[in-house]
A and B are shown apart, each in its own frame.
Chain A
Amino acid sequence: MKKEHWKSLLLTALLFALFIGVWFIATQPKESAQQTAAQDEYAALMGKGAAKSGGFPPPQEIGKAIVNHLSDPFKDNGPNDKGIAIQLGHSLGRVGMGFVLAILVALPLGFTIGMSPLLYRALDPFIQVLKPISPLAWMPLALYTIKDSDLSGIFVIFICSVWPMLINTAFGVANVRRDWLNVARTLEVQPLRKALTVILPAAAPTILTGMRISMGIAWLVIVAAEMLVGGTGIGYFVWNEWNNLALPNVIFAILVIGIVGMALDRCFATLQKLVSYTE
């Protein structure tokens, strides 16, 4: 087991090295590029040195960008030059707000729907229609009604997180083992105590799965939403660096988005483990 672990780690490292190597070779500046003196002059005038390759950035430039950004993550020199930590903070703040709002709506509503087969069936068509709508499609409506770009971003996160949580909560609550409910009935357990001590722990793994899916979607959506809304956040950072044609920064941001997304997912995986039980 232990040995297998090391083997897979070694293979990962090898694959990574291979990837970087191929990348490095593929982005070598072309020696054969013939330029006239006038073109050199023009390039110098445009602020581009002769060494500029003009193609896809090689890995060492990404390395430089990483070092550069991580050396001062909290800098704030105006709207177009904020540190990566500040941008991430804005994104995580929006995701957090939207996500908590979604919990506040989805948990009680999901509980109610799950306990009542009638409501379950009555609300199912709405949920089925609303669920597949891309959260970004709500953006114009949100901007028009809320009239605040920051809140609209939060709303978009809310609307995309709410469905998986709602559906999973309702499903989890509706499928609590009959036996456990019968135990509660024979013990004359009051409704609130039953909800908190029997139904909630019984449905918790399903609910947490819904939350984990929601968080995954929310983190996907926030980047796109911030590209549209602008101002702050990791999505805006990507868009801004694209406008600057600073591809190393864009690649750096992509990497950060991936790592943060993974970390969020790990958090929920841990929570899931905490509430899961074996029968």
Chain B
Amino acid sequence: MSFLQVENLAKSYPGNDAPVFENVNLTLDKGEFVCIIGHSGCGKTTILNALAGLEVASDGNIMMDGREVIGPGLDRGVVFQSHALMPWMSVIDNVMFGVRSRWPDWSKAQIEQQATKYLEMVGLGHALHKKPSMLSGGMKQRVGIARAFAIQPKMLLLDEPFGALDALTRGTIQDELLNIVQATAQTVFMITHDVDEAILLSDRILLMSNGPRARIAEIVDVTLPRSRTRHDMHHDPRYYRIRNHLVDFLVSRSKEPKPDGETHPPVVRPGEDGPSATSPI
């Protein structure tokens, strides 16, 4: 059984006949990095919030590490799109707030050490005592990432963490995130709008069709070697095949009507050439 198992998840809001999404099935293995891509309104954030326990799905269930997810908890770290730092706390206090919640019995020195360690990991060792308002958008998001990593959760949930950042900053933080994820073997579920970001970071990419009645239409296996970097990734011919596949989906195929009854999306390997590109699972 997989580390995370989502079965037949659906969400509908009162007053709306059609659910935002339905029959969402997905699995995550330990240490896997999975991105979810789809147009606005297909319910990506709702799925992530359901995984975080912040929202209750209308139907279906979520099992993580053999236990059902029924509410928010310290075993899942969340990085919010709007970074959600407490503006009255300094950078280190924000991270320490999380660490203290995770290990209430720790001494102040231990808590401070843990917080400092993760802030240094995201390159903020020099800004520990600054207030968030004094930081740039990218630095704020780094603090959010450090806060989520510092509690050493079983799974990390990232809600479009780089959406508000400029391209240069985004690239730098993507590299940092990649390094930390590889160093800590963290299991990550991430929402993104950026096709390149998804290819760079993930092992698998979930493609969501448009809502209402959105569902996961396809699972793309990113068959690039794990050692890929932003600098050499685009020299690999597989990169373009994957990228074209993703863009094609977003531009045209995401609007296609969905076959009824099909609940388990096919896994595709657009990176591979030839007939083995699609294999039914």
Chain A positions near chain B (C-beta within 8 angstroms): 177, 179-180, 182-183, 185-189, 197-198, 201-202, 204, 275, 277-279
Which residues of B have CB within 8 Å of A179? 80, 82, 84
Contact B54 A182 (CB under 8 A): yes
The residue in A183, A188, A202, A277 that gathers the most chain B C-beta atoms within 10 A of its C-beta is A183
Which residues of B have CB within 8 Å of A278? 87, 131, 133
Which residues of A have CB within 8 Å of B78? 182-183, 186
- Complex formed: what's the CA distance from A189 to B99 in Å? 11
A-B contact count (CB 8 A): 58
- Complex formed: what's the CA distance from A204 to B86 in Å? 13
Chain B positions near chain A (C-beta within 8 angstroms): 52-54, 72-74, 76-78, 80, 82, 84, 86-89, 97-98, 101-102, 131-133, 151
Which residues of A have CB within 8 Å of B86? 180, 183, 198, 201-202
Which residues of A have CB within 8 Å of B72? 182, 185-186, 188
Known contacts being A186-B52, A186-B54, A187-B97, is A277 close to B88, with CB within 8 Å?
Answer: yes
Partner of B80, one of A183, A187, A189, A202: A183
Which residues of A have CB within 8 Å of B131? 277-278
Which residues of B have CB within 8 Å of A183? 78, 80, 84, 86, 98
- For the complex formed, measure the closest distance between the CB of A23 and the CB atoms of chain B, giving whole angstroms: 49
Q: Is the interface of B mostly helix, strand, loop or mixed?
A: loop
Residue ID in chain A nearest B147 by CB atoms: A183
Residue ID in chain B nearest A185 by CB atoms: B72
Partner of B88, one of A186, A188, A189, A201: A201
- For the complex formed, measure the closest distance between the CB of A156 and the CB atoms of chain B, giving whole angstroms: 35
Residue ID in chain B nearest A177 by CB atoms: B84
- Complex formed: what's the CA distance from A177 to B54 in Å? 15
Contact A186 B73 (CB under 8 A): yes
- Complex formed: what's the CA distance from A239 to B276 in Å? 99
